[in-house]
Structure 1
């Protein structure tokens, strides 16, 4: 953890909406949580991965979407609230 109140997590992305990403620590969607997009920060490489993943999966039903493993920074509060730390 950093002193800035943010944590860096490596998560599996399962789904998305206009306002949130559905992620899990384990890759098991049943254990996933929604993270608000406004609270997620990515470096350029991970931002490109998220955009490519969304483009590849947006027309697919949830049950057949591929997972993407991504590194994201979120507030410590949100990470604790969602049970990620």
Structure 2
């Protein structure tokens, strides 16, 4: 909500999941459906969203714009690369 309300020409949210959403007592299908709904709601508010999967390809299932980091050491350079490409394109 704070990001959506922030007065800016552009808003970018980067998410770094390490797998599928889960809780010890939650239904995995409900959690996955909920995440898809939240991603859609964020996009409707004009926020650009990118998921960078940390050692997981689960981001393909939830984030239209995504990238996978297959080695943890690649995370910093990947973040800067993705952020740079997002800022240079619209």
TM-score (norm 2): 0.28
Could you say which structure has the higher strand fraction? Answer: 1
TM-score (norm 1): 0.29
Q: Larger RCO: Structure 1 or Structure 2 (Cα < 8 Å, ≥ 6 residues apart)? A: 1
Could you say which structure has the higher helix fraction? Answer: 2
